[in-house]
A and B are shown apart, each in its own frame.
Chain A
Amino acid sequence: MATQSSRATARLMLAPSVIMLFVWMIVPLAMTIWFSFRIYRLLSPDRTGWAGIRNYTWFFNSPDFWLGISNTLLLVGGVLAITIIFGVLIALLIDQPVWGQGPLRILVISPFFVMPPVAASIWKNLFMHPQNGLLASAAQGLGMEPILFLQSYPLGSIIFITSWEWLPFATLILLTALQSLSSEQLEAAEMDGASALSRFRFITLPHMTRAITVVILIQTIFLLSIFGEIFTTTQGGPGSASTTLPYMIYKQALIAKDIGRAAAGGIIAVILANIVAVFLMRSMGKHLDT
């Protein structure tokens, strides 16, 4: 069916959308690269000109930079680990035939519908607040000092809140994978003498690898740019303990009002995302074949 002319027609028909997508991607990228080499400060609009690589060196020499990078990776890695492990466990649990399965599944999925700043506010003010929070009053009820979550464990708290938001997504994808596992395979393994644990290890888990890969890839894309949760809860603090790369960029763009530096940070973030992407595709791309 793919004759020479039909292929040519196909290319022609696809061209508008391909060009559209390419422009869509390349124009903002080109502008960001352009700004990242310019002096562009909103507080002193008279000073313009080329900045060379100074915007970049500022970032690399900033005391927060490597902390920001490591915080970003910790946030991504921590949330991935929590959502995958608990996602698999919860999916296994709600795959069981129980009374009220439908409503139960909707409840499990509901945190995903809460907007990130709202979710973060809820956790900050209703749960983790040292005076009014539920966790604080629970701790007091047990005769303990309330834990200052956002002050003592800022990054841990943010990882927890973000995991709470993303756990439903992981659960949902993993649950659908679980439901597509043929029961005959499990029964065959049972006949073959596999214990419940072995059945999970040798049959269920391999069956879910592709879904797990999809969850990791999709979540990584979104988690690299987590911002709302940090902004709402810790503002990157205390000090810069929970500052990530996106948050540094925000501070340069909207607090220091230095568009040039923010653009340089943006390009660094793009490079970081590409490194992560290459790493992920190398290590897990094979699970997506066939």
Chain B
Amino acid sequence: MGKIVLKQVRKSFGDVHVIPSVDLTIENGEFVVFVGPSGCGKSTLLRLIAGLEDTSSGTIEIDGKDATMLPPAKRGLAMVFQSYALYPHMTVRKNIMFPLKMAGMDPEAATKKADAAAKVLNLTNYMERKPGQLSGGQRQRVAIGRAIVREPAAFLFDEPLSNLDAALRGNMRLEITELHQTLKTTMIYVTHDQVEAMTMADKIVVLQAGNIEQVGSPLELYNHPANAFVAGFIGSPRMNLLEGADAAAVGAKTIGVRPEHLEISTTAGQWKGTVAVAELLGSDTFLHVNVEGHGTMTVRGGGDVNLRHGDTVYLTPQAGKTHRFGQDGKALV
């Protein structure tokens, strides 16, 4: 159930090679997140797996069988769309039952299944409503319900939370993670939000311009980014990437220090700068510091850091927490 293998998958639209060549194995039961900046081909990759786009070359195997040429319905996958793509003229129950109806299941059994799915998703009281009468979070759950009833080999999520407000997004994030723990089904989740990637994934796939930059667990990516791109993309606020003499001193083209790995001092340190903006979050303080010769660096301090715009600070990287990158952007070990 639910092992997906991509072999040299390529996708071109005319002369534009959206995905030059991708090899990837997704194990059964894994929660895999495709993450990358917009236009990096992560949605295209998902649509290739779903069968909504045809591959230009390469093969896609699902459960050990070649599914490259199979139509979407035959692949046994379920997808949750960014816009939810609920059927507006059908009630919630009919929406959830639609895939069962299409599979020719007898209506009574289908109703029973839809009700069971609704119970899991707290939708029981809304079954007779139309999607237009639901809130964003409820619509999201209906879309998930429609995916669950099919008992797919894998779930595909295409930026499912990007239309929700911040608080709801946090809740739905938890719900989807819990759902994965309950169902233990393979899930592939596309997002541009690295926080979602870090919090939900068993395995993160970082994409840029259609190429896989790095595959690994969230902490692997955080602690050992393979290159400067991954280093800058994973982690929030972004890692500070510095070039010049400081980098050359350790034999690298670029060095990276995460904001949380910089010591703040008002008296002495490696780099001197002035605070441009101080963001006080209560638990943390984010300082945006103009450092001579390096531009703006971001520093994360505790909630008790009492610095304001214009104050002079000294920054020092913690020992052993500096990442070094070579001429080609790859990490130096």
Which residues from chain A sit less than 8 Å from chain B, CB to CB?
Answer: 182, 184-185, 187-195, 198, 202-203, 206-207, 209, 290
Which residues from chain A contact B82 at a C-beta distance below 8 Å? 184
Which of these, B52, B89, B90, contacts A190 with CB under 8 Å?
B52
B300 within 8 A of A: no
Contact A189 B81 (CB under 8 A): no
Main secondary structure of the interface of B (DSSP, over half): loop
The total number of A-B Cβ pairs within 8 Å is 60
Residues on B close to A: CB < 8 A?
50-52, 71-73, 77-79, 81-83, 85-90, 98-99, 102-103, 132, 146, 150
From known contacts A184-B85, A202-B87, infer whether A191 and B77 are also in contact, taking CB-CB under 8 Å: yes
- Once the chains are docked, how many angstroms separate the CA of A194 from the CA of B83? 19
Shortest CB-to-CB span from B88 to chain A, Å, is: 8
CA distance A209 to B88 in the complex (A): 12
- Given contacts A184-B82, A202-B98, is CB(A193)–CB(B103) below 8 Å? yes
Establish whether residues B89 and A185, one from each chain, have CB atoms under 8 Å apart when the complex forms. no
* Contact assessment for A185 and B102 in the assembled complex, using a CB-CB cutoff below 8 Å: no
Q: Are A194 and B85 in contact (CB under 8 A)?
A: no
B98 touches A189 (CB 8 A): yes
* Residues of chain B contacted by A191 (CB below 8 angstroms): 50-52, 72-73, 77-79
Knowing A192-B102, A192-B146, the reply to whether A182 touches B52 (Cβ < 8 A) is no
Contact in complex: A185, B85 (CB < 8 Å): yes
Cβ–Cβ < 8 Å partners of A188 in chain B: 79, 81, 85, 87, 146
Q: When the two chains form their complex, are residues B102 and A193 in contact, meaning their CB atoms are under 8 A apart?
A: yes
**A to B CB contacts below 8 Å, 6 in the list:** A184-B85, A185-B86, A191-B51, A193-B102, A193-B150, A202-B98
What is the CA–CA distance of A207 and B77 in the complex, to the nearest angstrom? Answer: 26
- Considering the complex, give the chain A residue whose CB is closest to the CB of B75: A191
Interface centre among B71, B88, B102 (most CB of A within 10 A): B102
Known: A187-B52, A188-B81. A206 touches B89 (CB 8 A): yes
Q: Is A184 within 8 A of B81, CB to CB?
A: yes
Q: A209 to B89, alpha carbons, bound, how many Å?
A: 10
Max chain B Cβ within 10 angstroms of own Cβ: one of A182, A191, A194, A195 = A191
Closest 9 interchain pairs by CB?
A188-B85, A192-B99, A193-B73, A184-B85, A193-B102, A206-B89, A184-B81, A194-B102, A185-B85
Q: Which residues of B contact A189 (CB under 8 A)?
A: 87, 98, 102
Chain B contacts for A187, CB-based, 8 A: 52, 72, 79, 81, 85
Query: Is A207 touching B78 in the complex (CB atoms < 8 A)?
Result: no
CB distance from A191 to the nearest CB of B (A): 5
The answer to whether A190 and B85 touch across the interface, beta carbons within 8 angstroms, is: no
What are the residues of chain A within 8 A of B77 when measuring CB–CB? 191
Closest to B47 in A: A187
Bound-state Cα–Cα, A192 to B103, Å = 8
CB of B165, distance to nearest CB on chain A (Å): 21
Task: Kindly provide the distance from the CB of A117 to the nearest chain B CB, expressed in whole angstroms.
Answer: 41
- Distance to closest chain B CB from A187 (angstroms): 5
Is there contact, CB below 8 Å, between B81 and A192? no
B73 touches A192 (CB 8 A): yes
With a cutoff of 8 Å between Cβ atoms, the chain A residues found around residue B72 in the complex are 187, 190-191
With both beta carbons as reference points, the residue of chain B lying nearest to A185 in the complex is identified as B85
Contacts of A209 in B (CB 8 A): 89
Q: How far is the CB of A252 from chain B (nearest CB, A)?
A: 47
Q: How far is the CA of A166 from the CA of B87 in the complex (A)?
A: 31
State A184–B86 Cα separation when bound (angstroms).
9
Q: How far is the CA of A206 from the CA of B103 in the complex (A)?
A: 20
CA distance A191 to B87 in the complex (A): 13
Residue among B87, B132, B146 with the most chain A CB within 10 A?
Answer: B87
B150–A192 touching, CB < 8 Å: yes
Is there an interface contact between A185 and B73, defined as CB atoms closer than 8 Å?
Answer: no
On whether the beta carbons of B85 and A207 are closer than 8 Å, the reply is no
Distance of A249 Cα from B77 Cα, bound (Å): 65
Chain B residues whose CB sits within 8 angstroms of the CB of A193 once the complex forms: 73, 99, 102-103, 150
Q: In the complex, A107 Cα to B64 Cα: how many Å? A: 51
Min CB distance A154 to B, Å, is: 41
Task: With A184-B81, A190-B52 given, name 13 new contacts (CB 8 A).
Answer: A184-B82, A185-B87, A187-B72, A187-B79, A188-B85, A189-B87, A190-B72, A191-B52, A192-B98, A193-B99, A194-B102, A206-B90, A290-B132
CB distance from A22 to the nearest CB of B (A): 36
**In the assembly, what is the distance between CA of A188 and CA of B88, in Å?**
13
Picked from A184, A198, A207, A290, the residue with its CB within 8 Å of the CB of B83 is A184
Interface centre among A182, A187, A194 (most CB of B within 10 A): A187
Q: How far is the CB of A177 from chain B (nearest CB, A)?
A: 13
> From A183, which residue of chain B is reached at the shortest CB distance?
B85
Give Cα A290 to B89, complex, Å: 11
For A184, the closest partner residue in chain B by CB is: B85
